[in-house]
């Protein structure tokens, strides 16, 4: 699904990711943890092609394609989805308009017929129900006036509708109370399938109680300093990150 080899990336000429390698196979869930400033969010941004985040060396292979060579929208149409840490508000553009345009773009890119407005509405309603958002949110401006939790659930709803093959959740759990967290996890778990992978970037082990990862990686100082299974997350929770940083130093 995704193969990152020796990736270096910088933001404003400052190197944030240093020689990072990671292999994600279809159906796997990888959790990426690490202290603040380790480069966790940078990774998601580089993968999705956010302007200003520049890969300076290394390669990223996504389903046999050279990811770094693709514009952000093409990456999305190929099935890469980033759930933002801080989803932006877009007053005036309704959620529904955005979603229909997004789903149409992905489907026509992959040679599927576009959905009729009626079918799409049906799907959207189901998705909003699945993340516990009232249908009125579909008509509102994108994230406009949404609470923090509503924004995160809105991201998951979009993820469901776009049916991506690789989902990157960038600190989707931050700022969520436990109920909202469960809603998010339920949405993610419902989407698990043998040909869909997840990269879950999080600061807290709590999320991983609900979304059980196959692998846990610790990111510090721009590289993966330790990998393991879900028990690593528990260890981190108990001991914090500093022991790892010391070990690396």
Partner 1 sequence: MAAEFQQQAIALAKQQSVLGWLTAAREQGQSAWQSHAWPTRKTEAWRYTSLLPVENEQWQLSDAASDALPQTALSELIEIDAYRLVFVNGQLNAELSSELPATLVSFADADADQQAVIQQHLNQVADQQTHLFTALSTSLLQQGVLLHLSKNQRLEKPVYVAHINDKANAKVTNARLLIVLESGAEAQVVEHFFSTDDQDRGWINAVTECSVGANASLRHHRINLESEQALHTGSVHVALAESARFNGFTLANGSRLKRIDYHIKHLGSGSDLQLNGIYLPRHKQRVDYHTCVEHVVPHCTTTEVFRGVIADSAKAVFNGRIHIHQDAQKTLAEMSNRNLLTSDQAQVNTKPELEIYADDVRCAHGATVSQLNDEALFYMTSRGISEAEARVMLSFGFVNELVEGVELEALKQWLRPRIAHMFGQTDQLTRHIIHE
Binding site for partner 1 (CB under 8 A): 48-51, 71-77, 82, 84, 87-88, 90-93, 97-98, 100-102, 104-106, 109, 117, 141-142, 158, 162
Q: Toward partner 1, which CB reaches closer, 33 or 127? A: 127
Query: Which SS3 state, helix, strand or coil, does residue 85 take?
Result: coil
Q: Toward partner 1, which CB reaches closer, 12 or 246? A: 12
Least spacing, CB of residue 179 vs partner 1, in Å: 26
Residue labelled with tokens 């993966």: 224
Alpha-carbon gap, residue 207 to 31, rounded angstroms: 10
Least spacing, CB of residue 182 vs partner 1, in Å: 25
Least spacing, CB of residue 136 vs partner 1, in Å: 15
Q: Is the dihedral of CA 71, 74, 78, 80 positive or negative?
A: positive
Residue labelled with tokens 């955005």: 98
Strand (E) positions, 12-111? 14-24, 29-33, 53-62, 65-66, 80-83, 90-94
Surface-to-core class of residue 162, CB atoms within 10 Å of its CB (0-12 exposed, 13-18 middle, 19+ buried) = buried
Which stretch of DSSP H or E encloses residue 232?
helix 230-239
Q: Toward partner 1, which CB reaches closer, 53 or 241? A: 53
CB 17 within 8 A of CB 46: yes
Question: For the CA atoms of the chain, what is the radius of gyration?
Answer: 18
Alpha-carbon gap, residue 239 to 11, rounded angstroms: 30
Q: Toward partner 1, which CB reaches closer, 95 or 202? A: 95
Q: Toward partner 1, which CB reaches closer, 114 or 126? A: 114
Q: Toward partner 1, which CB reaches closer, 18 or 107? A: 107
Least spacing, CB of residue 11 vs partner 1, in Å: 14
Least spacing, CB of residue 109 vs partner 1, in Å: 7
Alpha-carbon gap, residue 97 to 105, rounded angstroms: 12
Least spacing, CB of residue 170 vs partner 1, in Å: 11
Q: Toward partner 1, which CB reaches closer, 33 or 163? A: 163
Counted residue by residue, the chain has a size of 249
Least spacing, CB of residue 159 vs partner 1, in Å: 10
Task: Number of helices (H) and strands (E) in the chain: give both, helices first.
Answer: 10, 12
């Amino acid at each position: 699904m995704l193969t990152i080899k020796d990736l270096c990336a910088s933001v404003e000429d400052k190197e944030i990711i240093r020689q990072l390698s990671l292999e994600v196979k279809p159906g796997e869930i990888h959790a990426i943890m690490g202290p603040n400033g380790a480069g966790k969010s940078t990774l998601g941004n580089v993968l999705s092609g956010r302007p200003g985040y520049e890969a300076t060396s290394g390669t990223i292979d996504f389903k046999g394609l050279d990811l770094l060579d693709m514009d952000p929208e093409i990456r999305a149409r190929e099935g890469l989805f980033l759930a933002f840490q801080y989803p932006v508000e877009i007053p005036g553009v309704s959620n529904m308009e955005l979603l229909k345009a997004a789903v149409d773009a992905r489907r026509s890119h992959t040679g599927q017929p576009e959905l009729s407005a009626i079918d799409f509405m049906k799907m959207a309603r189901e998705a909003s129900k699945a993340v516990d958002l009232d249908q009125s949110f579909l008509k509102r401006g994108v994230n406009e006036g949404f609470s923090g939790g509503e924004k995160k659930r809105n991201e998951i709803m979009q993820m469901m509708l776009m049916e991506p093959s690789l989902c990157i959740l960038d600190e989707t759990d931050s700022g969520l109370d436990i109920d909202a967290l469960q809603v998010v996890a339920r949405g993610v778990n419902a989407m698990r399938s043998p040909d869909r992978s997840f990269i879950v970037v999080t600061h807290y082990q709590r999320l991983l109680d609900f979304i059980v990862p196959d692998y846990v990686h610790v990111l510090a100082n721009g590289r993966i300093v330790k990998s393991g299974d879900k028990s690593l997350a528990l260890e981190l929770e108990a001991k914090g990150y500093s022991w790892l940083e010391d070990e690396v130093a």
